[in-house]
C-alpha cells in the first residue's frame, strides 16, 4: 500500500483478539522504530517487550486507574511495549535546555509512530498510551527510577478489522504558505 494508505489505516485500536503475535513480527516493528530519526542521532530509546501472559496482565493493571479507566482495554493486548527514555547525547541535552524543547520526547514519538506504522503494515493494531502509573511500570519491569517511561504501546490483532473514518481538520485549517495567518 502507499504511505498515505498506510497512514489512513493506522489507528488506535482498543480491543484485541486472543492471538499470539510472532516475535519475528514484533522485531520488524522494533526495527522500524530503530530506524527513526533522532536529534544528533542520539537514539534515546529502549523498548521492553512484554509478551509473558502473567507479566503482561500485571503490567496492564498499571495502565489504568479510577481517573483513566479507559485504558483497561490493555488487558486484551497480547503484547505491551514499554518505551524507556534513555539519556540522549550531550548536544541534544544542552540544546533541549537552551531551546526549552525536550528533543528526546520528539525522538521517542517518531520511533513509536514508526513502530505503529510497521505494525499496521503487518496487519496488527496498536495504541500509544501516555497516562499510566509510571513508577509502577518502572518497578515491575526493573527500570531504574532515574529513567522515564513516557509511553507504553499495546500491540495485537485488532478485535475489529474495520478502519474507522478519521475525523481530522481540513488542510485549510492547519496550514498556510509563507507565514502564519492573521
pLDDT at 171: 95
The verdict on residue 4 lying in a domain is no
Q: What is the mean pLDDT of residues 140-169?
A: 95
Domain residue limits at 60:
11-158
- Least confident range of 48-52, 142-146, 149-153: 142-146
Structural domain includes residue 166: no
Structural domains counted in the chain: 1
- Residue 32 is predicted with a pLDDT of 98
- 122: in domain: yes
Burial 29-53 (b: 16+ CB within 10 A, else e): bbebbeebebbeebbbbebbbbbee
Residue 171 lies in a domain: no
In a domain, 5, yes or no: no
In a domain, 33, yes or no: yes
β partners of residue 128: 153
Q: Is residue 82 part of a domain?
A: yes
List the grid coordinates of 160. Answer: 475489529
Q: What is the pTM of this model?
A: 0.95
Please say if the pLDDT value at position 90 is more than 80.
no
Q: What is the mean pLDDT of residues 79-98?
A: 88
Q: What is the CATH number of the domain that holds 130?
A: 3.40.109.10
Which tens digits make up the pLDDT trace of 9-41? 999 999 999 999 999 999 999 999 999 999 999
Give domain status of residue 51, yes or no.
Answer: yes
Smallest Cα–Cα separation from 61: which of 77, 46, 47? 77
pLDDT score of 97: 85
Grid cell, residue 138, equals 518502572
Q: What integer pLDDT is reported at residue 99 of this predicted model? A: 85
Amino acid at each position: 500500500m502507499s504511505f498515505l494508505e498506510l497512514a489512513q489505516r493506522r489507528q488506535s485500536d482498543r480491543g484485541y483478539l486472543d492471538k499470539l503475535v510472532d516475535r519475528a513480527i514484533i522485531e520488524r516493528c522494533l526495527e522500524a522504530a530503530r530506524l527513526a530519526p533522532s536529534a544528533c542521532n542520539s537514539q534515546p530509546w529502549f523498548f521492553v517487550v512484554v509478551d509473558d501472559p502473567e507479566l503482561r496482565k500485571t503490567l496492564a493493571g498499571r495502565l489504568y486507574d479510577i481517573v483513566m479507566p479507559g485504558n483497561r482495554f490493555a488487558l486484551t493486548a497480547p503484547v505491551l511495549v514499554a518505551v524507556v527514555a534513555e539519556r540522549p547525547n550531550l548536544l541534544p541535552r544542552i540544546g533541549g535546555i537552551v531551546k526549552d524543547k525536550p528533543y528526546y520526547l520528539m525522538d521517542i514519538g517518531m520511533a513509536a509512530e514508526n513502530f505503529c506504522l510497521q505494525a499496521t503494515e503487518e496487519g496488527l493494531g496498536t495504541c500509544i498510551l501516555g497516562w499510566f502509573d509510571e513508577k509502577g511500570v518502572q518497578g515491575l519491569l526493573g527500570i531504574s527510577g532515574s529513567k522515564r517511561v513516557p509511553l507504553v504501546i499495546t500491540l495485537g490483532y485488532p478485535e475489529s478489522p474495520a478502519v474507522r473514518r478519521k475525523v481530522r481538520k481540513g488542510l485549510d485549517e492547519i496550514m498556510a504558505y509563507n507565514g502564519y495567518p492573521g
